[in-house]
A and B are shown apart, each in its own frame.
Chain A
Amino acid sequence: MLLKNTYNEFIKIVSKPRSYLGFGALTLLISIIIFAMKADGESIVSFVTASFEQTLSFNGKLVNGNLIAFIILQMLVVHIPLLVALVTGDLISGEAAMGTIRMLASKPISRTQIVLSKFIAGAIYTLLITIWLGVLSLLVSHWVFGSGDLIVLNSDGLVILPEADILWRFGLGFCVAYLALMTVATLSICLSAFAENSIGPIVATMAIIIVFTIIGTLDVTVFDTIKPYLFTTHMASWRSFFEDPIPYDDIIQSIIVLIVHIVVLIAITLYKFNKKDITS
């Protein structure tokens, strides 16, 4: 029954026009970024590298597919949660708003299976969005700009990664980015179990991300103890794969925090949905 309903949930997702908004928005945004970098990328990169040019000389093609893919990821990972929440935040509350929750919950499928099938379908959708992001950012930027070494500027300085040492970093980076997006998806599904309308959980998810991000960036001592436990603190940990050496301990800690969030949010959703009286 779980598999059958997961298939149902996936059919519902792919049949909704809003599910394609994410793919469309990503395509548009990446096209704009690639166009902008093609038009003015050299001067932007020169501006960044200017401060190093007294001590270093840069040879070769700095504006290449790897750099563009990294810039795209950097810019979009902040916005993709909204595109994910747009679909996953509607998975339970959308049924309540439409009235179909009555028919669904009066069938011989347990409420736990209903929630889990929605979670799995949401996870597949999030995976497809992440893959689309990867395909567009890596393949298209390589096709337009060609390949080359990657120069990354972080808080410790400039990291230069050889061309042959990059692809696997992107692969693992996407995996961690997917885990971060899954946390967002699970949060919005959880909020969806508490709501009877589609918009509420989507707005609430974004509000939580914004508030947690602000708390994470504020340099206030009182927040220092909670910062490591906020999922937003770990949403950009995919970037750690582009450091040298890679801080594996930090990455593992981020993965643990994100997984704990996912498990706890699923548990809350299951508890709430199983106890819920369906009166809509």
Chain B
Amino acid sequence: MQTEQVIQVKQLAKKFGNFEAVKDVSFTVNKGDVFGFLGPNGAGKSTTIRCLLSLITPNAGSIELFGKSLAQDRSAILKNVGSIIEKPDFYKYLSAQKNLEIFARISGADVSAKEIAEMLDFVGLGNRAKHKVKGFSHGMKQRLGIAQTLLHKPELIILDEPTTGLDPQGIIEIRNLILRLKNEQNKTILLSSHQLSEIELIANRMVIINQGRSIVEGEVGNLLQSEETVVSIEVDDITKAMNSLSQHFAAASIQQITNKQLEIEVRKQDIPALSKCLVEAGVGIEALEPKRKLEDYFIKTIQS
């Protein structure tokens, strides 16, 4: 069965004056994907996303959404897209409900007052519907942004840094919301985030872009599978631990961090052997923690 492509970006380029914000970005998002869109600051992520939403006109390349050219079928395409770009901004002098009514009217769908009320309940703002947005916290605005994104039941949801500025509780709420959208409603989600751990937890495919170019694209699992993991270990005898590991894992990169902590780069399947080696050498293990794989992969990819 052929996979349905929801977004297809080919050789996208955008210049602002002499500055090339995006040089050559290509990627494909399939139906049902939670697609991680990664890159360091200034890599061209926001510019690319703004091109996808027709906020910025690219100088070169093509963008197809739902198999249609964005340049030619903008209105028809955007009826099926919901988005938050950076932080969601609303009309501060209007209530949450009025804001949603404003955006519902131009969403291209008939959204009833009941559906607006239900959506506010869905994001946990049902009891603040009549309150003016100027009194909302960043997290509440973010949730209202999600409500605005989902109001017209779009197939594709584009979220640019949806967890920026949120507290840990807020981050977990947004993560759970995204997972519900994928699992319960089979939405396609393009997610740009600096929170690599978030992407690792919820994305099934991803692209990494750097200096305006897409570098790597593929299944998150496949891309991370072959990679070695940095394991952080805290021990009671650092000298003994370093000697023992040097003998058994001669090829591995070992680095002493403090007088009780070291880091070693091994394959995931070698972690039990690593632990066994230290125990047999009589070293007391106080903590052993594999670092986030995507974080390492991301840094290595960007540096290479």
Binding site for B on A (CB under 8 A): 1, 4-5, 7-8, 11-12, 15-17, 98-100, 102-110, 275, 277-279
Contacts beyond the supplied A15-B94, A108-B75, A277-B57: 10 A-B pairs with Cβ under 8 Å: A7-B105, A8-B105, A11-B94, A103-B90, A103-B148, A105-B53, A108-B78, A110-B74, A110-B75, A278-B55
What are 30 pairs between A and B in contact, CB < 8 Å? A4-B105, A8-B102, A8-B106, A17-B93, A98-B92, A100-B90, A100-B91, A102-B50, A102-B55, A102-B86, A102-B89, A103-B89, A105-B53, A105-B54, A105-B55, A106-B78, A106-B85, A107-B78, A107-B106, A108-B75, A108-B78, A108-B79, A108-B107, A108-B108, A110-B75, A277-B16, A278-B50, A279-B16, A279-B50, A279-B55
Chain A residues closer than 8 Å to B55, beta-carbon distance: 102, 105-106, 277-279
Given A5-B106, A106-B83, A107-B78, CB of A15 within 8 Å of CB of B93 = yes
CA distance in complex: A8, B94 (Å): 12
- How many residues on the B side are at the interface (Cβ–Cβ under 8 A)? 33
Inter-chain contacts of A17 with B (CB < 8 A): 93
B92 to chain A, nearest CB (A): 7
List the B side residues contacting A12 at CB < 8 Å: 91, 94, 102
CA distance A104 to B91 in the complex (A): 11
B69-85 vs A, Cβ < 8 Å mask (1 yes, 0 no)? 00000111111010101
Inter-subunit contact B56/A278 (CB<8 Å): yes
Q: B88 at the A/B interface (Cβ < 8 Å)? A: yes
Minimum Cβ distance to chain B for residue A16 (Å): 6
Neighbouring B residues of A1 by C-beta, 8 Å: 106, 108
Assembly CA distance A103 to B144 (angstroms): 13
Judged by a CB distance under 8 angstroms, whether B68 is at the interface is: no
How many angstroms from the CA of A102 to the CA of B90 in the assembled complex? 10
B182 lies within 8 A of chain A by Cβ: no
Report the bound CA distance from A12 to B91 in whole Å.
8
What separation, in Å, do the CA atoms of A279 and B83 have in the docked complex? 15
Instruction: Please tell me which one of the listed residues B53, B85, B98, B108 contacts residue A11 in the complex, with CB atoms under 8 A apart.
Output: B98
